[in-house]
Each structure stands twice: as structure tokens, then as C-alpha cells.
Amino acid sequence: MTNRWGYPDLGFGVGLRSVHFQHILQNNPAIDWFEVLSENYMDTGGRPLHVLDQVAERYPVVLHGVSLSVGSTDPVNFEYLKKLKALARRVKARWVSDHLCWCGVTGLNTHDLLPMPYTHQALRHTIERVRIIQDFLERPIALENASTYLEFAASTWPESEFLASLAEAADCGILLDVNNVYVSSYNHGFDPQAYIDRIPRDRVVQMHLAGHTNKGTHIIDTHNDYVIDTVWKLYRYAHRRLGGVATLLEWDANIPGFDVVHGEALKARQFREQEDAAMKTPELAEVPAYGD
Amino acid sequence: MATDPGLERIQRWMQACILDQGTAEEAIASEKAQAAIPAEQARSVVLPSKTLSALERLDIYRDMYLLRMEEALSIDYPSLKHFLGPDEFMRLVTRYVEMYPSRSYTLNRLGDHLPEFVATRDDLPRKEFCHDLARLEYALTCVFDAAETPPLAAEAVRALPQEAWEHARLKPIEAFRLLDFSYPVSRYVGAVDEENPFPRLARKKTWVAAYRSNYNLHRMDLAEPAYGLLSALASGKTLGEAIVSTLTRKWRPAVKQAQLFEWFRDWMAEGFFQSVELAGDRS
């Protein structure tokens, strides 16, 4: 299943992190693609950009930002967009993504992916901003469902419907973070499968997987560990619903060696293959449902 | 259905609560938070979960904010953190981000005001040493991110006739900073990086070049006259002017011609300069 823009299924990638620079440049690991945190390369002329240039010559690269602040009521930051556009051109980014969130207002940046109230006003506001951003970048963007730890009383609809409506109205893509679906479902008590069911499949250009930290009362999206089994099951469910989508493993704290991170990403291939095989065998197709 | 304060007020309120450093109760009662949503309404802005109250859920974001700021500043100021220890450093970060919250899309710029902030903190142990340390670590972050400018090629140096050097201007690479200190902070940074033993923290004038070579950060300890000469060159003086304005005054007896050649040989080898041009030739 391809998305409406024809963005390719790049296979199984990992985030480009500085602790792996040397390994990657020396060993040219057989990995399908890299995702790059845009802001880490936008204002530097030093080693990170030098490494990225070399990586981009060897592998497909996707840009993933954390400061687009698409839901903020501050004015759109065109200086930021200008640098993002230049970087995307420089590395021939296959696509550009960020989050459905806001990061700050009144000129400040909390550097967090803060939750939106899911209201009609917020939807209209965000649609307008996404259109402005895409016009400036001259390409569709993909927005990721962030992990959230609170819900606003003002919200009138579920996040999944808000995201789906936003994507349809603003004509943007979706980066479905399967771990974030699970984290938010745990924190807010919703059905993660139902969340995925509401996502329009032709708008999903990428999926994310990551580890997290369960505090008992809530889960924090820490990207510091292996993906848990329940999230793998949810990934299989998402694959069944959405088809082959470029998949990225995030590991941002307590980062192990490159081969460990890559190995975790490659588990996604196994789960996809298992799911594809199961789909061809009806009696097996029932097995991997989430929660089994 | 709950009242909707509107997107802008919700965002201003939540940000005010996150940036406030009191308890969640104090945060929702703060002037900035109440300017968006009055405290009596604030408790109903966020829904409780099965396990957490509304304010406990807000606290998750509030707690993560300071940890994120501390982590970012720890990356840029590891030696300052080493000297102060984790608790004192966290107290410094807490006060710093209150005065200088991030206004950039990148955390790389969060620490830009830390040296000047440290200079105002009379409660810090050994404030002047901390200030020097912060200045050096800030310079290193600037050098790390500076635009890459290829160093002067040996051919360009050889191409200049010997008699022309007096009128030559040597322009430093972008990733180059000169600093003077009252304490041996470069050796302290080196000790944290396990390059050398920790120095005595007694006052001692030191001069340092912070620079990037082959995309790696370096520090070079300088003698005072070498620092003076490099500063003159960096300010745009010709080599002849730089030598006259520095070496012929105070250090003439101390700096022999051989020493001068040795310095330039080292500076060229380390790639301190990006171009050489003759006075009047600004093409």
C-alpha cells in the first residue's frame, strides 16, 4: 500500500546519533535509511554537518524536527523554515516530519512536545499553519502523534480523529509512532487499536518504534530501551492495517552500540514478515492481535 | 461540557505553569498563569487520569522541563558541572533558565548567556574561576558550531614573496577564538577530559586559543606575547603592524626571531588562518 504522494517504503532505519558517527563512516553498515533530527544540523558548520553530508551521500535521509511547533499560537517562524528548507535540499531529504504539538508561545521554547486541546478552534488554527508551512517548504510534511501525559477538559474529540481530520484538511502526511500510541493509550485509558483504525492509511508515510519507561501510574516516552512486546504486537496490527510503511527505531538515551540499535530496528522486518505470512493463512491471521 | 478557555489562553497558561519553579499549586496561582486562566478555574483545565490528579499530570511536564534544560547545559558546560557538582549545577541551571528561558528552536543556544550570568552570581563558590570556566566552555561551543573555512594552504604561503609578509593580513578561520583568563581553566577542562592532572585553582593568568582542526576541537595554551600577536592579527592588523604593536613594546627582549618562527609554524600547522592578503588587496 503506498501513500498518496508515492513516498517509498524505505525499509527499516534508525536515527542518526553522534555516538554512532564513527562506526557508520568506517563500516558503512547495511541499513536501509537514516532519520535525522533537523535542529541538530541547522545551525552548525562543524562535525555533525560534515558527517551528515557523507551519510546523505550513502543512504536515504529523512528529516525529523522537534521545534516546528505546528500548533502554537505564536506566528510561524519563517527563519526556522528557511533553514529547514535549505537543509532538506542539502541532504535530499525524502520527506520532512515533525509533531502534532506546540513547543512554546510568546517567543519562548520549552523544547517539549506539548499536547494540544482537541477542539474545533485548535483544528482550524493548526490546519492553517500546516498549509502555510507546506507552501513555504514546497512539499507536504508528515506529523507525528506525540506521547502525551495530560488531556485538556476542553477537548471535544479523540486525538486520532483530530490528527486524521487535520491530515485530510491540510493535506499533510502522518508519521504514526506506534510506541506513542501505546504510551498515550496507557496514560489516558483509550484503545490503541481503535486509535490506529481511525488513521487514514493513504496518509501514513512512516512509522516510529521506541522503548519507554513505565512509572506505574503513567508511562514516559524516554527512547532509552528495547521495544516492549506489547508495542511489537501493536506494530503488527498497524502493519496489517496500513501495509508496508518505512519504519524507524528511535533510541535517544543510554544509547547502545550501533549494531544493537540496528538489530532492534530489524526486528520490525521479522514482525512484518510474520504478519504478511499470517495474512496469507487465515487461521493464523487472528493470532497477533494486540493484547493477546 | 467543560468551558473552553481557547487555544491561546490554554497555551499561555500551560507554559507559565511549566516555567514556574514553585509547586504546581504555586504555579497555577502565579501571576503569569493567572493572566491566562484564573487559579479558581485552573484545576478544571486538565482532566485527571485514573492514577493521577490533574496537577500531578501537569507536574510531569514541569519536572521534565528542568531536567531537559540541565541536560542541555551539561553537554555544553561539562567542566563547570564537574567543578560545581550536580546539585550546585542544578541550582545554577534552575536560576539561569528563569532569567534566560530558551528563545531559540535549538537547545544549542540555551547556554549563550551562562558566562555573563555566572559573573553575577555571588552565591557561587569561586565565582571568578567559574566565570573563566564558563567563558572557555562557551567559546568551545561556538568553535564547535562555527562555519567550516578551509585552512590556508601551504602553496598560498609559499606563493607570497618574503618581502611582502610585512604587509600581509592573516585572517583566522571561523572556528577560532582567543581568550585570556585569571585561572588555569584550560588545564581544568583538560583534567576533566583526563588529558592532564587537575591544576591548583590558584590565580594564574593564562592565554588560550580554542579552535577546530579536521572537525575536532582543540585548545592551545599560549604565551602572553603570542596571545597579543594573534589578537592583533585577528583584529585585522598586518603582520608588520601586529609585530610592532605587540612584540616591540613589552616583550621585545623575551621573544627572539626563532621563537616567532616556531609560533607561526605551529599556528600554520594547526590551521589557524584561512587566508592571507596584502594590505590594500581586499579582493
- C-alpha to C-alpha distance for A36 and A17, rounded to whole angstroms: 8
Grid cell in block for residue B133: 570556566
Chain B: give the shortest CA distance to residue A167, in Å.
19
| Locus of grid cell 496490527 | A237
Instruction: Write b or e for each residue in B157-186: b if 16 or more Cβ atoms lie within 10 A of its Cβ, otherwise e.
Output: eeeeeeeebebbbbbbbbbbbbbebebbbb
* DSSP string computed for B153-178: PHHHHHHS-GGGGGGEEEEEPSSEEE
Size of interface A-B (CB pairs under 8 A): 139
User: What is the pairing mode between strands A96-100 and A141-145?
Assistant: parallel
Say if CB A261 and CB A20 are below 8 A apart: yes
How far is it, in rounded angstroms, from Cα B138 to Cα B260? 29
Residues 95-124 of B with CB under 8 A from A: 101-109
A42 and chain B in contact, CB less than 8 A = yes
A157-196 residues touching B, CB cutoff 8 A = 187-189
Reading the block at residue B132, the C-alpha cell is: 573563566
The per-residue pLDDT for range B239-256, each reduced to its tens digit, is 999 998 887 666 666 677
**Taking CB atoms and an 8 Å cutoff, what residues of chain A touch B109?**
43
Helix axes A229-242, A258-280, angle to 10 degrees: 50
pTM above 0.90, yes or no: yes
Single out the residue of A190, A105, A95, A108 nearest to residue A134, CA to CA: A95
Alpha helices in B77-214 (DSSP H): 78-84, 86-99, 114-119, 127-145, 154-159, 185-192
For the stretch B120-151, what's the b/e string if a residue is b when 16 or more beta carbons lie within 10 angstroms of its beta carbon? Answer: eeeebeeeebbbbbbbbbbbbbebbbbebbeb
Q: Are B107 and B72 in contact (CB under 8 A)?
A: yes
Rounded Cα distance, B90 and B97, in Å? 11
- Asked if A110 is an interface residue toward chain B (Cβ–Cβ < 8 A), one would say yes
Q: How do A61-64 and B168-172 pair as beta strands?
A: unpaired
B106-159 pLDDT, tens digit each: 999 999 999 999 999 999 999 999 999 999 999 999 999 999 999 999 888 889
ipTM, two decimals, is: 0.95
Contact B105 A67 (CB under 8 A): yes
Q: How many CB atoms lie within 10 A of CB B88?
A: 16
Counts for chain A of helices (H) and strands (E), in that order:
11, 11
Who's near B151: CB < 8 A, 6+ residues apart? B173, B213, B271, B272, B273, B274
Tell me the H-state helices in A94-202. 120-137, 159-170, 178-188, 192-197
| Tens of pLDDT, residue by residue, chain A (292 residues) | 579 999 999 999 999 999 999 999 999 999 999 999 999 999 999 999 999 999 999 999 999 999 999 999 999 999 999 999 999 999 999 999 999 999 999 999 999 999 999 999 999 999 999 999 999 999 999 999 999 999 999 999 999 999 999 999 999 999 999 999 999 999 999 999 999 999 999 999 999 999 999 999 999 999 999 999 999 999 999 999 999 999 999 999 999 999 999 999 999 999 999 999 988 876 555 544 454 4
Say how far apart CA A125 and CA A110 lie, in whole Å: 20
d(Cα A175, Cα A113) in Å, to the nearest integer?
15
Q: How far is A191 from chain B (nearest CA, A)?
A: 15
**CA B280 to centroid of chain Cα atoms:** 35
* Beta strands A219-220; B176-181: pairing state: unpaired
Q: Measured between beta carbons, which residues in chain A are less than 8 angstroms from residue B46?
A: 150-153
Determine contact, residues A152/A107, Cβ cutoff 8 Å.
Answer: no
Taking an 8 Å cut-off on Cβ atoms, the answer to whether B52 and A50 are in contact is no
